[in-house]
Structure 1
Amino acid sequence: MTTRSRRESITFKHPFRLASIDRLLPAGTYDVVTDEEMIEGLSFASYRRVATMITVPCAPPHGNSMEMMSIGSLELSDAQRIDASAPNDG
């Protein structure tokens, strides 16, 4: 099966939560990796998402380290929508 990975940076302007991570994450820019696999048997190239992961700071006391956590694509979309609609401070 053919797979591909797509990497993007996503910026949150406010602290945010993701359902699959049990702590508040600080505002900032995060790397997100999406793995997709090719759907076989079609006459054109088409892929389906099989995994979405985000790199986040480790929980204390390991705050200087980073970890990659598996998340749902819908929870990421929801967090981005909430962040975009949050009032700006200042």
Structure 2
Amino acid sequence: MFARTKHRRVHFTGPFWIPDLSEMVPPGDYDVDEDEELIEGISWLAYRRVATFIRLPATAENKFRMRLLAIAPEELERLIAVDRHRAAISPSPKS
């Protein structure tokens, strides 16, 4: 079975809460890895996602340990959409 990992970076403008994590995650840029495997038996190349991970940086709260947290892809997309919606309706600070 052939597999691949797709990497992307997502940005959160505000803090967010990930289910199954007992802490608030600060705003910032986060690396996301999506593992996919080749679907065999069809006449074209197609992959299916089998796992999604978000990389959380080391902080004083988590005893300076980087964490790779499994997250449902639908939950990640929901968190991104909520963050974008919040950013769109929040008034921007004036200079």
**Could you say which structure has the greater relative contact order, defined with CA pairs below 8 angstroms and 6 or more residues apart?**
1
C-alpha distance in structure 1 between counterparts of 2:30 and 2:7, whole Å = 10
Tell me the SS of whatever aligns to 1:81.
Answer: helix
Percent of aligned positions that are identical = 34
Q: Give how far 1:73 is off.
A: 0.3
Q: Give how far 1:21 is off.
A: 2.2
Contact 1:37 1:50 in 2 (8 A): yes
Inter-CA distance 83–69: structure 2 relative to 1 (3 Å threshold) = same
C-alpha distance in structure 2 between counterparts of 1:69 and 1:61, whole Å = 13
Structure richer in strand, relative to its length:
1
Q: Give how far 1:45 is off.
A: 0.5
Inter-CA distance 15–5: structure 2 relative to 1 (3 Å threshold) = same
Figure out how many residues of one structure are paired with residues of the other and give that number. 89
Q: Cα RMSD (Å) of the superposition?
A: 1.6
Report the residue type matching 1:33 in the other structure.
D
Q: Give how far 1:66 is off.
A: 1.2
C-alpha distance in structure 2 between counterparts of 1:69 and 1:11, whole Å = 16
Q: Extract structure 1 runs of 4+ deviating beyond 3 A.
A: none
- Segments of 5+ residues of structure 2 without an aligned counterpart are none
Q: Using structure 1 for the length normalisation, give the TM-score.
A: 0.89
**Greater Cα radius of gyration, structure 1 or 2:** 2
